[in-house]
Amino acid sequence: MPLTADPGVQQANRHFATVIIAVYNDWAPLEKCLQSLAAQTNAPSFEVIVVDDGSTKNAPVSIIEWTAEYPWKLLRQPHLGTAAARNQGIRHSAGEILLFIDADSIPQNNCLAALGEQTVAAPSRNYFQLCLAGIRSTLAGRAEDLRLIATQDVLLQPDGSIPYLNTAGFAIRRSCVDLEKGLFDERALRAEDTLLLANLKRSNQLPLFVRSAVVRHATNLSVAECLRKSVRSARLEARTHSIIATLGVDVLMSHRMRFRMLRSIWKISKTESIGRGACVLLVARQTLRFVTLFVCRILQEPQPE
């Protein structure tokens, strides 16, 4: 049964959007995320669903007793993975637009308003990739911002679509989702958004890039933690990429595209607010990730549950 933060709020009426957030011990960043949603200006009607994916740490009182003008609820499930948590959120949603963000995502104040305008302006488009940005307070944050800027600039297509999908800020029309089955493949313990992108590419339906709807993604890690996470994440991603390989769809960048990315990263890192240090860290991160993926693919290393 869901734990409803505001029992006086009834969910009978549909909302423009349901914001779905999967959490696993991410209580501290979640509070900042909920605050950023409370600060939305000129936003259409929305609700928030937080799904606790079997956290080992209990939600603090500040989360359980969270009050805001928007309706929200906290659901709990066993530790089944992010994909399963998001699918659980979908089943309890009431929004015409389903917006997925992470616990450490910080939507800018006009984010929901900008997304609403775009969904109206493009009625034939069903998938929307929001504009992601890093928070530059740490070296890891500057490296993340550098990666996101370069990725989105290089991959953006002339028609406004983008062969990129990141659930730190991704939206889909409710009408395109099997509400009972869910949207995400629960076999994927990591990179479930990449697997979703592969399926969208198979049907020639790339997300529309919404540059005006900005979500900042916090990266509060040390350099060592950042590198370790790259290796750990890549080991889990390897399983997902093995699933993608059966679809006959290429979601990885070509060598030519990687060269364009490197040139863009080098150029952007000249910016004083980002710096060459962020460039070095990003290249190290990506190198570790690709080497780990390559080794896992060759050895077919059993992945941890």
Average pLDDT per 10 consecutive residues for the chain, totaling 305 residues: 38 80 95 96 97 95 90 96 97 97 97 98 97 95 95 96 97 95 94 96 95 93 91 90 89 85 94 95 93 83 49
| Residues 73 and 4: beta-carbon distance below 8 Å | yes
| Domain chopping of the chain, boundaries | 3-220
Per-residue HEC secondary structure of 246-305 comes to CCCCCCCCCHHHHHHHHHHHHHHCCCCCCCHHHHHHHHHHHHHHHHHHHHHHHHCCCCCC
CB neighbours (10 Å) of residue 292? 20
> For residue range 41-65, what is the model confidence (pLDDT) as tens digits?
999 999 999 999 999 999 999 999 9
| Residues 18 and 94: beta-carbon distance below 8 Å | yes
Q: What's the pTM? A: 0.90
CATH code, residues 3-220: 3.90.550.10
